[in-house]
Every structure is written in C-alpha cells, then in structure tokens.
Structure 1
Amino acid sequence: MDWLERAARLRQWSRGGTRAPHKPLLLLYALGRFRQDAGGELRYGAVEEDLKRLLAEYGPPHGTTPAYPFHHLVGDGVWEVRTDRGPGSPGSRVGELRASGAAGRLAPELRAALRREPSLLDRMARVLLDQHFPPSLHDELCEAVGLRAEADPASVTPLVAGRRQRDRRMRELVLTAYEYRCAFCGYDGRIGAVPVGLEAAHVRWWAFDGPDDVDNGLCLCSLHHKLFDRGVLGVGDGHRVLVSQRFVGHSDAARDQVTALAGRRLTGPQPGVRPVADDHRAWHAANVFHGTPRPAADTI
C-alpha cells in the first residue's frame, strides 16, 4: 500500500480553489502524536482545543470545526474512530463526538507501516506540507504538531509520482521584477552583492495551483512574507497593501512595520512587468487574508 499516495490524495471539499486543509492538519497532528506515543489514542474531547487552534492559525479565514475531519478522515483509509460503544464514528457533530467518548488514531495498517519504516512518517508529513501549505509556514507548523522540519522542499526529489514540479527560476525572476526590494516596505538589504532577507512569495499558493509566474509573485522581505502567508497582510484594489484588523501590535516596530503599511501602494514591479493578476489577488483575499482590512494609515 502506498501511504504517500494516500497522503497526497486526501479527499477534500473543494469549490473554485477554496482552501479546506482540515484533514491534512488532523493527519499532521496525528503523525506528531504517534511520534510521541505510538500506542495512544486521541480522544476528541481532549484534543478538540488543540485542533481548533491549528485550524484558526493555519486554516481558512472563515470559521470551521475539527469535528468534520475527525469523522470524515476515516473514509481516506488512514484513520479510525471508536466510541465507548465500539468501533465506528458517531458522526461529524461536536456533541455526538463528545458524548460518545469518540477517540481516533491512525489506521492499524498505517501504524504497522510506520513501525516497520520510521522514515515514512517524515515523508508523509513532507507530502502533506507541500500539498497544502507554503514553505514559509512549514517549520512553525511542524513545531506546532510535534514534528521536525525536513529539508527545503525545492531540493527534495518528488515523493509522489506525477506531482507538479516547481520552477526554480521563479525566485530570480520575481526578485528582478521588483528590483530586489520588498514590495511592501522597500527593504533591499545585501551582503556585498548578495541580497539577504528577500524572498519570492506566491500570491496564490503553489499548493493550490498557483503558477510559478511573475504575475503570481511578490518580492517580500522575510517578515512580510510570513505575515502575507499568515493572512495579516494582503494586496487590494489599486495594488495597495491590506492590513488585517485582527492584527494587534502595540510596539513602535509593530506600528512601523505592519499597521502603517495599510493603504500603501506596492513598490514595483518595474515598468514592462505584469503586476499581480486580479484572480490571484482575489484567491488570496478569499482563502488567506484574515478579517476586514484596516483603513489606510493616512486616513486614520
């Protein structure tokens, strides 16, 4: 049985490229807990708050519940659920899962495979990360679920046959298009001739069919890349910076580096280069950006 294929092909609700990472997040969490206690079960009532936090931090901006993947992941052959009455899930309602003492764990065949081949766990995690999240979030997500981050996915041989390959030229093309300056703050640091702290960010995530094209990219400093992928920052009409009202920061640094960006026009790209395409901006606004944008800083 090819467990990497199973991980890569989890069935998810999908409409127009909408993110629904509920099952991948639960499976990553279960892999992390298996590493800590290979024989343990995850009782829904005990892990519900952990799963809620993961969905709030790494899921889509609209509200969601961990009860849905806890029940439906069974159908993908990697997870099992039992209650106080015996095997089988009672359904996808929170009350049913709590009242029945529902507990889940990795499917028996998968647990056996992980014991035979311990490296399989990290390879499954890598597939889930690559398929559903941008690289800027991989390290912190691994830490959040109790896994160790592995090598940069761009340098890893594809683990599942037929998977789309990244275009390694994208970084240089995007940084050149934006003249090696952060599109949000203008940062342009170098050591000698080498730029430092500048990255090529996908607007529509590569994991969600975002192309490796300049009009789907932004040159961002490391800080603003992370905040962009976490939904704190976005790009609005007129290619102006959006800042979420959910972001809270009271220091001068938080004000200068984040809230003061609200309404600021992007720096770049240089003339003759296509700016971020409207459909990619719209995908990010619907699937990543959290909450309502703040008013432009100069109107407050």
Structure 2
Amino acid sequence: MPGMTVRSPSEKLMIVLRRFYGRLSLVSLAVLAACSTPVAPPPPPTPPPPLVETVRPRPPMGAVENMSIPEIQDGKYLTPNRKVTSNTALWHVRMALNVAALSCRSPGDLARLQYNRLLHVHGPILTQANEAVDRNYKVAYGAAGFGARERLNTTVYNFFSLPPVMKSFCPVAEAVGAKLLAMPSSALLDYAPTALAELEKPFQDFYAAYADYLRRLAEWQSRFGGTVTVWAVPSPLPPPPVPPGEAPRQGFAPSVTSAIQQNLPPPPDAAPAAQPARPPAAAPTQPATSGPKLMVQPLPTNTE
C-alpha cells in the first residue's frame, strides 16, 4: 500500500527480539527486587555522656562548712542522750523543751506555753527526776558530782540548740510537748526514753545529711581537685560524757547480807576503796562563733 514502510524479514526479527528482551529485563528486575534482603535501618545516635555536677556541694540546712559531727556507734551518732536512765531521760526531755521554749517561734508561742504548762502540771514528777539525777551523780562522782552534772547539762543544751536543726526540731518539740501534757504524771517516766528519741531524731537526720554532704564533696573534689583548694574532712567530735546509772535512794540497804559479809572481816592489807572517777570534760558540739551567746535559763512557773 502506498505510504507503508516495508521491512525486511531481518528487521522484523530484530524488532521482535528487542521487545522480548525488554520484557525479560522487567521480569528479572521484579524477581531480584522480591528476593533481595531489606536494608537494616541506621543505628540510633550515641546518647550524650551523663551530666556531671559541676557546682560544689553545699552543707545541708544552711550549716557551716568544716563542721565536725559525732561518730556512729550501734547505728546512731553519739549524743549526750545515750545510755540514760528513765529519770535522766525525763530531765533531758525537759531541757530540750526548755530550748524549744526559748528558740521556737510559732503562732501563739506554742512551745513556750507548753513548757510553762508542763512545769505547772508535772512539777512534782520533774522534781523527783531532778533529785534522782543529782543522787546518781553524787554516788558516781562524790563531791565532783555537781560539776559533772553541770558539764553534761551544758552539753545537752548545746546539742538541742544546734541552729541548722531548729526548723525541723521545733515541730517535733511541740508534738512531744502536747503528748506530755495529755498524759498523767505517772506515765512520764515510761514515756521519757521514747520522747527523748523523738526529740533527738531531727539531729540524727541532720548528722546523716551532713555526712552525705561530706561524701558528695569528696566525690566532687576527686573530679575537679586540680582546680580547687584541697578540702580537709573535719575530725569527728569526741564522744560526749555518759550520764551515770541509777543509784539507790538515800537510806536504802539490802535486806540480805551474805555469809562472807557477816563472818569474814576485811584483810588488814586490803587496798583502800577506789575513789570515784572524775568525769571527762564536756566537748563542744558546734563550731566556735564570735557572736553573742544566749544564757539558757528555765522559764518562770507562775504563768499559764
């Protein structure tokens, strides 16, 4: 026909072959794509290194640096309230509440009002406890007993007056004061050791926090010690004096005398009786300061 292209047999064969190979390539690519292994996603980015505290740790509760704290014995920090009799515990509770009355400020001066009320309601049992503690010191130290007790009293007052602990101590003192006022006087001696432990707990917690601060400070310095002043860990406080044990009441005598005491006189060369040991001097529980010091005195008992 006119206008039609006439191809030779060889040209027709080449066209057919090109179409066949084109289709074969598409099928091959599809097969290869179906059999290929998927590519693994890229690994996640490396996390940044942990943040290192670069700010120098500070003492807890606004305490001063280079402050000495007591050593630990039997799981607790040594305080002047350890190994106390019930009478001594009650007297230490009274001193702690006296500190609260002078130092704690709350609406209505609750600690002060509680303390005055305590002296009025429980005055006789507090007087008996005071006499018992005096007797204990006299039996233990003889003529030196008064001075020994005064030194321990000073240590106890200083212990409960530690400034950084006042904020946490005052609510506890008010709670203990309320419990004492709600119970009869006959129950005070039994409750006194528990009350003393409750009043001491804020100070035990503070010592633990300060020890943790010293640990963090040492760790901080081990990382940045090349650029800071070397820190010396303060020496622990010396152990406070231990109150004497309970002594028998004046005029007490055993009802039974042993046969040895009845029949055998003391040997002529017997050594003289041992003299009462002098108590150790009280050690300060706070860093020395140049500011004015408050003279702690009991509050008057004639106010409600």
What band does the TM-score fall into relative to the shorter chain?
under 0.3
Higher strand content, 1 or 2: 1
Structure showing greater radius of gyration is 2
Higher helix content, 1 or 2: 2
TM-score under structure 2 normalisation?
Answer: 0.22
- Larger RCO (alpha carbons 8 Å, 6+ apart): 2
